Amino acid sequence: MRKHIEGFIAQLEDAFSIGEKAQFSISKKKFNNVLILGVGGSGIGGTVVAKNALLKAGLPVMTCNDYNIPKYVDEKTLVIACSYSGNTEETLTALKKCQEKGSEIAAVTSGGELKRICVLNNYNHILIPGGNPPRTCLGYSLTEQLFILVKYDILPQSAIEELKLAIELLKINNFDIKKEAQLVAQNLFGKIPVIYSTDKFEPVSIRFRQQLNENSKELCWHQKFPELNHNEIVGWASGNSDLAVVIFRNDDDYYRTQERMEFMKNVILNKGSSVTEIHSKGTSFIEKALYLIHLTDWTSLYIAEKKEVDPVEIKVIDALKNHLSTLK
């Protein structure tokens, strides 16, 4: 796992090159919405991209992490299917339903059944290198989905330029990112992590939660401001010293949300739990998100090493897949 996280910046650069070279046959169809299909390590890239699109696109860009698709999907929906292996059953099931609705299909995969479907139907698709755990290939899935949205003119070309700047930001701050990640891991070790962010940066919280689940073998949860101030804040009345809170902060967080964060910090500290703040760097959403993601990916690895657990092992997921394979 260490080599995968260490190689994240190089992966982003390779993905950028692949995306630039990808040749698409673009439909003249006018789309009403976009739906991104994907689960797990193949789904998180779409979650980040969809949030980025919410800030930039002139139409809804939503994600689907299920077998079923929304009712609104039709021939004016652009569907992006992302499955690293190409064999993810939820994604393939949802894709079939989108095909039946006559949707425009594009895909990101390393091969498998999804590649076969794309080749058979002449769908636009981008092939990425295979053979790794899907969660280690966020750089590929996120980058290629951004390129697809730009090629279809859903996102402006500036989205690609921002990604390029994000890669440079990670290069410049790589040493400091790893150093801060070690401090965060030290604060979280032996505790149950609770992850807080704004709604805008919820994809970062989801990624961190997933990495703690899989790499660190930890249960944890996340919530977002301001929603948590209408429910979860009351739950802190009981207090719990086994909890350790992480708050993702950004210089452009809404001023009233920043005040909510400060108030919440005091509530948590008064109940005997710790609070660790992680401040993003960069100007655009994608710069800040990738900065925080890379830092917390390292954090999940450092916790795994402190616990002396294998960050790659996912035997229980493999067991579930084997069990499901017995069903018709």
What positions carry a catalytic annotation?
214, 230, 321
SS3 call for 154? coil
Instruction: Give me the torsion for CA of 116, 101, 148, 120, rounded to 10°.
Output: 20
SS3 call for 285? helix
Token digits of residue 17: 């090159």
Instruction: Give me the torsion for CA of 18, 9, 318, 207, rounded to 10°.
Output: -110
Cα–Cα distance measured from residue 309 to residue 303, given in angstroms and rounded to the nearest whole number: 9
Q: How many CA atoms lie within 13 A of 21 on its CB side?
A: 8
Strand partners, 309: none
- Pick the closest to residue 268 from 299, 292, 247 (CA basis): 247
Cα–Cα distance measured from residue 57 to residue 53, given in angstroms and rounded to the nearest whole number: 5
The neighbour count for residue 118, using CB atoms within 10 Å, is 22
Strand partners, 33: 77
Residue with tokens 């801060």: 180
The neighbour count for residue 107, using CB atoms within 10 Å, is 25
Strand partners, 275: 245
